[in-house]
Amino acid sequence: MQTVVLFALLGLGSGAVIAGIALGVVLSWRGSGTINLAAGATVMVAGYVFWAVRTGFFGFALQTVPAIILTLLFMALYAVVVELVAVRPLRSASPLAKLVASMGVLLLTQALVLLIFGTSPLNSPSVLTSDVVSVFGVAVPEAQFILAGIVVVLAAGLAALYRFTRFGLATRAASESESSAALAGLSPNVISLGNSVLGHVATGFVGILAASIVGLSATTLPLLIIPALAAALFARFTSFGIACAVSLLIGISESLLYQASNESWFPTQNGSAVPGVQQVAEFLLIVIALWWRGSSLPLRGDLVERSLPMVPDQDRLAARVAPVAIACAVALVVLPSDFRQAVTTGLVATVLCLSFVVIMGYVGQLSVVQLALAGVAGFALSHLEAAYGIGFPLGPILAIAVATVLGVLIGASALRVRGVTLVVVTLAAAIAIEQFVFANPDWGGGQSGASVESPTLFGLNLGTDASFRGLDGSLPSPVFGLLALVVTVVLYLFVANLRRGDLGRRMLAVRSNERAAAAAGVNVRAVKIQGFAIASFLASVAGVMYAYDFRTVSANSYGTMSALSLVASVYVLGVTLVQGGVLAGFGAAGAVIPLILQTWVLPENRVSVYMQLIIGTGLLIQLRFCPDGLLVASATKRERRARASRAAKALTAVGAKPQGGV
């Protein structure tokens, strides 16, 4: 009992950090209707900046108090920049676009922090007292209690601010109806900016204080957004008190879970506790929150009509696909080995990106679990082979089936959830799969990864080590690349054709208005499930191909941040267009574009961070200037021109003169 209380108290510190992030999430939602995925990164930014000014990283070292003040000023400035770059330009955009923008901020800030401060975690100088109090004879740092107290006071202060001040009243009003607020003389822009600054400063303050307790790491801190989102969901993105209380409870539970993992009754594998239970618990918590607190967020009345990206027609498919396919085939034979490898990886990543096109572009559901599903398929393939001796072609078929079923299950658990909240579920699911499955020594690859045999059919090796070599005579063999090319072209045509068919039209109906679609006789649930099934299938195929491509599967290849980068790059190029999937695929880690950059442009060792930087920046620029995506913008322009010329032709055909004016 005593240890339980002790560990519960030790969880207060991380609970307080989660609470700080959750408060920031609630403030962003109420201020501008953005689900701010970058709120976790706010803690990271504040922590690193404080560390830098406190320890003299920038050439000057300040005392604690001036350092805190300077950091908070920086956070206010950071909030203004984020607001002007990623929030204000998207006022008229769909909630999905707003969320993707916050994803861009997350990718960008994380890349910047990694580039400036390096990848290894830092020890921040402690701000709060380093005294300890004795609880049941065990020393507990006092700072834990102080931090938790500060967070509770912050939450109470914010609640009071919203309840009693004009600013709070105005925010509540504007979050209900922006047009009514504007007519009442309240400027939604100013309100949004105020909340953004408030949120970043509050979250940053908690981040500064907590950095010495939870540690400074650019890879773990941004992901604290997951438990924070769970807490915010319980609070319906509205109540500061509930968000804070749930966050503290999550922190305490995690600490208790950690303690329990040392107990004899806790499930173990090979003598150590099963990894990833905490992440699975967070995922389940989010699913529970969504079922319990209702299917949707409180509605926001935005000033401007929400617009969805256009979905251009798919015409002249063969003429478009053939040259690219032939070019790839030639490249697979002719190019030097590292480029052959990159082309193959690009083809595989294309299949993965096609799954985003289906689920995000056609059905309008933002799901980021695909890369994790690909990982599941890859690991399943490896284990089917190692444990049961099931090889090609039955092995990949089974692996794809397993991962597809899992994807459909995740989709089904989120059926009541639409659009924006879905990303929360899938993000949590992706991280849970990553920690619970991939890091598991038996089911996943553990630390080292699991190997995969090359596919053979009738004694013919189809893998990357086949005897037929490229022109320079080295590995990898073009055979697998050509196989991947065939699969990719088939799936590309399938997804492009989906857009033209009946199911595609139903998907688009669901995307633009679920209720209207249901009223028009579309079975919304069935369409969504089909969308999830197709997307999961595509992702699983990609996962199997990845496994064969590298002949090994490891948890790193399917990390959540890489998944976010992929989603972002598909979005930049045009999530509604298959061509966007292809380009994004060739820009994915290990594919052609990063290889070109790595070979000729960028310093060699950090190309993935630079790619993340480029994608994050590209995303923010694209959302600002052509919100539909780069390729979609040009495709719609072409379509419009074609329509105009058709109309002109029709006019001249009937002998009418084109008329001026309207």
Partner 1 sequence: MTEPVLRIEGLTAGYGSVDVVRDVHLEVGKGEVVALLGPNGAGKTTTLRALSGLVKASAGSISMDGQDLTGLTPAARACRAIAHVPEDRGLFRGLTVAEHLRLGPRGERLDAQLAYRYFPALPHIADRRAGVLSGGEQQMLAVGRALARRPSLLVLDELSLGLAPVIVEQLLPVIRAYADESGCAVLLVEQHVHLALEISDRAYLMAHGAGSDSHDAAALRRDRSVIQASYLGGQEWTPTADREKERDGEMQ
In terms of CB distance, is 9 or 186 closer to partner 1? 186
Mark the segment that binds partner 1 (CB under 8 A) among 169-177, 466-474, 504-512, 609-617.
Answer: 169-177
Residue with tokens 């408030």: 198
CA distances from 642 to 313, 628, 636, 638 (A): 12, 19, 10, 6
Q: Between 112 and 151, how does the x/- string for binding to partner 1 read (CB under 8 A)?
A: ----------------------------------------
Mark the segment that binds partner 1 (CB under 8 A) among 175-183, 366-374, 414-422, 472-480.
Answer: 175-183
Residue with tokens 């907590």: 210
Amino acid at 514: E
Is there binding between residue 596 and partner 1 (CB under 8 A)? Answer: no
In terms of CB distance, is 179 or 269 closer to partner 1? 179
Is there binding between residue 182 and partner 1 (CB under 8 A)? Answer: yes
In whole angstroms, give the CA distance from residue 201 to residue 209.
12
CA distances from 185 to 56, 168, 177, 403 (A): 46, 15, 13, 53
Mark the segment that binds partner 1 (CB under 8 A) among 170-178, 333-341, 418-426, 555-563.
Answer: 170-178
Is there binding between residue 158 and partner 1 (CB under 8 A)? Answer: no
In terms of CB distance, is 187 or 413 closer to partner 1? 187
Is there binding between residue 177 and partner 1 (CB under 8 A)? Answer: yes
In terms of CB distance, is 187 or 451 closer to partner 1? 187
Alpha carbon dihedral 650, 654, 656, 657, in 10-degree steps, equals 50
Q: Which of the 8 DSSP states describes residue 38?
A: T
As measured in angstroms, the least distance from the Cβ of 648 to partner 1 is 18
Is there binding between residue 173 and partner 1 (CB under 8 A)? Answer: yes
Mark the segment that binds partner 1 (CB under 8 A) among 164-172, 381-389, 439-447, 486-494.
Answer: 164-172
Per-residue b or e along 621-642, where b marks 16 or more CB atoms closer than 10 Å to that residue's CB: ebbeebbbbbbbbbbbeeeeee
Task: Note the Cα 400 to chain centre separation in Å.
Answer: 22
As measured in angstroms, the least distance from the Cβ of 297 to partner 1 is 14
In terms of CB distance, is 190 or 647 closer to partner 1? 190
As measured in angstroms, the least distance from the Cβ of 188 to partner 1 is 7
Q: What is the DSSP string of 252-269?
A: HHHHHHHHHTTSTTS-EE
SS3 (DSSP) at 226: helix
Which residue among 1, 63, 65, 166 contacts partner 1 (CB under 8 A)? 166
Residue 219: Cβ-neighbour burial (10 angstroms; 0-12, 13-18, 19+): middle
As measured in angstroms, the least distance from the Cβ of 131 to partner 1 is 44
Residue with tokens 């997804």: 495
In terms of CB distance, is 168 or 391 closer to partner 1? 168
Is there binding between residue 645 and partner 1 (CB under 8 A)? Answer: no
Number of residues that bind partner 1 (CB under 8 A): 20
As measured in angstroms, the least distance from the Cβ of 18 to partner 1 is 27
In whole angstroms, give the CA distance from residue 275 to residue 447.
12
In terms of CB distance, is 184 or 386 closer to partner 1? 184
Is there binding between residue 170 and partner 1 (CB under 8 A)? Answer: yes
Alpha carbon dihedral 440, 443, 449, 454, in 10-degree steps, equals -170
Which residue among 179, 448, 645, 652 contacts partner 1 (CB under 8 A)? 179
CA distances from 492 to 289, 304, 484, 486 (A): 37, 35, 12, 10
In terms of CB distance, is 182 or 493 closer to partner 1? 182
Mark the segment that binds partner 1 (CB under 8 A) among 131-139, 150-158, 171-179, 542-550.
Answer: 171-179
In whole angstroms, give the CA distance from residue 436 to residue 439.
6
Q: Is the dihedral of CA 454, 456, 459, 460 positive or negative?
A: negative
Is there binding between residue 310 and partner 1 (CB under 8 A)? Answer: no
Binders of partner 1 in range 185-204 (CB under 8 A): 185-190
Residues that bind partner 1 (CB under 8 A): 166, 169-170, 172-173, 176-177, 179-190, 661
